[in-house]
Structure 1
Amino acid sequence: MTAKLRIVIAPDSFKGTTTAVDAAAALAAGWHAARPGDEVVLAPMADGGEGTIDTIAGSVPGALRMPERVLGPVGCGHNGLVDAEWLLLPATSPGEGPTGVVELAAASGITHLDSLSPMAAHSYGFGQLIARALEGGAHRLLLAIGGSASTDGGTGALAALGARFLDDNGGAVAPGGAGLGDIVRADLSALTSLPPGGAVVLGDVTNPLFGEKGAAAVFGPQKGATPAQVAELDAGLRRLSTVVSADPETPGAGAAGGTGFALLAWGASMTPGAVAVAEAIGLADSIRSADVVITGEGRFDDQSSDGKVPSRVLALADEGGAVAMLVAGRVDADTHGFAASVSLSDLAGSADEALADPLRWLQVAGERLAGAL
């Protein structure tokens, strides 16, 4: 008789193809097909990018979605409004208030754009969501900043919280990256204070604010910036760093088009997103009683060991004494530490086939991993 095992399935999203929630369900279906008697626990993960709210909301009892209408990544006034939300988490211990989870992508994400807008896109709506969370009683903030549409140095977000960025005539600069080069002075006198419990930025990159590894050079082209625009944006971010007090070399300052820098200037701290999300959903406790843990992401490469979801789940599995297994759309790095790994591209015969029907191949992968025992 086969012993009953406890399996925890904790993948990240497979970006561009399927969410972490759907990926976990598909892997579970495959595992059950091979081992129907096992107990399977779904614990979809995130690293601070798009889908962080969905991941936490599905795992934390009492979490409340708080719908809002705010400015999207382009537009002003009543134009360009988008429907977004933040998440209110109940207090976990006496004396603490609730936690607000705010996801940049929900308001200011690149998926809101019909066409890329590298110079005009801004983060103002993200700041509006932060303000709504504070008004809604958040004692502490978790700020997930992946998936940004803009390279505005977070000036939009701070403007929504009361900051003013002024040109040499004392007027407000244009929103978005286009206005960065005109900034002469930052007036932070009316900037909203941090909540009593502070704010933690959930980042998934370690880039500085500017330079060859900075926000404009590395991520600007993904947001539609031409080489000339990249140079203009990088110069604007350098200008911003002279009027706002934060260290532009801090790892993660360049995240979300420099929004990480702005939040550091506000007084927030920064932590790897996978670490914070794992803590928020109690993943360590789930894994501590597990026999096997399955994690995954779209592409497992040399960067996956640098604070990404698979590396965090592997560390928790090692601490909890569980066997760790990996699934990825592509595996392009050594999978040392994982007892078994599956590439969806290899399973399907090609990357194109895997991308065409990822949930099917995730289910096959789950079944394959169960057989690997």
Structure 2
Amino acid sequence: MRHLILMDTFKGSLASKEAAEAVAAGILQQDPSAIIDQSPVADGGEGTLAVYAAGGYEIRTEWTVDLAGRPCEVMYAQHEQEAVIEVAQICGLSMRHETDDPFLLHTKGVGHLVQTLRRKGMTKIRVALGGTGTTDGGLGFLHEMGCSLRDAEDRPIRFHTNPLVETRRLACIDAPFSLEALVDVRSHYSGQDGPAYLFGPQKGLRRNEIECLDQRLKEMETILKLENIQGAGAAGGLGGAIHAVGGTIVSGAQSILAYLGCEERLRKADYVWTGEGKVDRQSQLGKITGEIVRSAGIAQVPCLILAGIVEEKIPGALDCRSIHIDRPVTLDKEQTFARLTEQASIWLKELSREQG
């Protein structure tokens, strides 16, 4: 039997590659002759660089500034004149210091790195959006890209506060190279499903700040012509900013599955295994686990999901099981690995018994 294993990260426990290795170990315990085909996966957030590195991209480092303007060295992936960056390494929620004011954080570092890579000769840059701590509508990025951001008195903004609040006039330029935003959400640039209301609380914004930023996002949405653009609200509006300079917004999950050649690999598989730390409603809305289930359904290959926590099962999968069933949930790396291995072995044994 041939098993295609495409496991997402178990945040706080296992990287994508480690989760896949745990499942593979369980399969081989039960069926030593099984053929294993595995790859790390991501949906445009954490782990995206690892996916491209596994496919032959070289990991390099460069300097930029973080979400509060502090110098930071970040990794990116490069192959010939193409580069991939993860914005979470630049303005990720984990980059925030306790003393940082969430309202003031910005995406200037993303634009700075994109411009640096452009000067290095990159002709295509993929920007993986996910896990950010910013809600600036991507205006920090636009500033670094050379767009004109001016205040109510027609002066260049000075980033004394959130650039959404300062900016009253904005003139964009088109990027003279290919720019692609890999998104894992379909949210709009403003409104109840926009970045301020949807993700502001988890980024530390207060209610009055959320209302203020959403009002400014509404105005910028009109200026940048982002009405009804799905994914524009990704990374606090950075998705919309990339669109505004001529970039494209694509599903990170679909893009990465295509890069990995999963359509062809699915045709050869008897089973596909996937999963993540928590499966919930969001897993079906552009996340990698949901996209794998959808692709498996098209290929008519049974899909098995192993997760840490299961809040809502994904329709179309053979089943969705928690590895912590009847046991306390843990983030311990060794225990998570062992439970993934154990549950994969148990499940395959059940499938073998059902097939006679």
**Fold match, TM over 0.5?**
yes
The Cα shift of 1:160 comes to 1.6
Q: Which amino acid aligns with 1:205?
A: V
Structure 1 stretches of at least 4 aligned residues deviating more than 4 Å after TM superposition: 352-356
The Cα shift of 1:129 comes to 2.2
Question: Contact 1:121–1:152 at 8 Å: present in 2 too?
Answer: yes
Name 1:202's counterpart in structure 2. Answer: 182
Name 2:271's counterpart in structure 1. Answer: 292
The Cα shift of 1:49 comes to 0.8
What are the ranges of 5 or more consecutive residues in structure 1 without an aligned counterpart? 91-97
Q: 1:172 to 1:15 in 2, by over 3 A?
A: farther
Instruction: Identify which of 148, 151, 175 aligns with 1:167.
Output: 151
The Cα shift of 1:174 comes to 4.2
Question: Contact 2:183–2:231 at 8 Å: present in 1 too?
Answer: yes
Question: Contact 1:11–1:20 at 8 Å: present in 2 too?
Answer: yes
Q: Which amino acid aligns with 2:68?
A: V
Question: Contact 1:162–1:192 at 8 Å: present in 2 too?
Answer: no
1:67 aligns with 2:61: yes
Name 1:185's counterpart in structure 2. Answer: 169
Question: Contact 1:118–1:220 at 8 Å: present in 2 too?
Answer: no
RMSD of aligned Cα (Å): 2.3
Name 1:130's counterpart in structure 2. Answer: 114
The Cα shift of 1:352 comes to 4.5
- 1:282-341 per-residue CA deviation (whole Å, 9 max, x = no partner) reads 222222222211011222223322222122212332344432111111222244322243
Distance (Å, rounded) in 1 between the aligned partners of 2:265 and 2:240:
34
Q: 1:57 to 1:372 in 2, by over 3 A?
A: farther
Local SS of the residue matching 2:324: helix
Instruction: Identify which of 308, 312, 328 aligns with 1:329.
Output: 308
Distance (Å, rounded) in 2 between the aligned partners of 1:200 and 1:268:
5
Question: Contact 2:44–2:130 at 8 Å: present in 1 too?
Answer: yes
1:145 aligns with 2:129: yes
Name 1:105's counterpart in structure 2. Answer: 88
Instruction: Identify which of 39, 52, 55 aligns with 1:56.
Output: 52
Distance (Å, rounded) in 2 between the aligned partners of 1:247 and 1:366:
44
Q: 1:168 to 1:353 in 2, by over 3 A?
A: closer
Q: 1:99 to 1:203 in 2, by over 3 A?
A: same
Question: Contact 2:306–2:323 at 8 Å: present in 1 too?
Answer: yes
Q: 1:176 to 1:163 in 2, by over 3 A?
A: farther
1:25 aligns with 2:5: no
Distance (Å, rounded) in 1 between the aligned partners of 2:156 and 2:342:
55
Q: Between 100-109 and 217-226, report the one with greater CA deviation.
A: 100-109
Distance (Å, rounded) in 1 between the aligned partners of 2:128 and 2:284:
20
1:237 aligns with 2:231: no
Name 2:337's counterpart in structure 1. Answer: 359
Distance (Å, rounded) in 1 between the aligned partners of 2:136 and 2:76:
22
Distance (Å, rounded) in 2 between the aligned partners of 1:315 and 1:239:
36
The Cα shift of 1:353 comes to 7.1
The Cα shift of 1:171 comes to 3.0
Distance (Å, rounded) in 2 between the aligned partners of 1:315 and 1:177:
43
Instruction: Identify which of 284, 293, 306 aligns with 2:285.
Output: 306
Q: Which amino acid aligns with 1:149?
A: G
Q: Which amino acid aligns with 2:66?
A: G
Instruction: Identify which of 227, 233, 243 aligns with 2:207.
Output: 227
TM-score (structure 1 length as normaliser): 0.86
The Cα shift of 1:203 comes to 1.0
Name 1:93's counterpart in structure 2. Answer: none
Count of residues in correspondence between the two structures: 350
Name 1:34's counterpart in structure 2. Answer: 30
Distance (Å, rounded) in 2 between the aligned partners of 1:151 and 1:355:
32
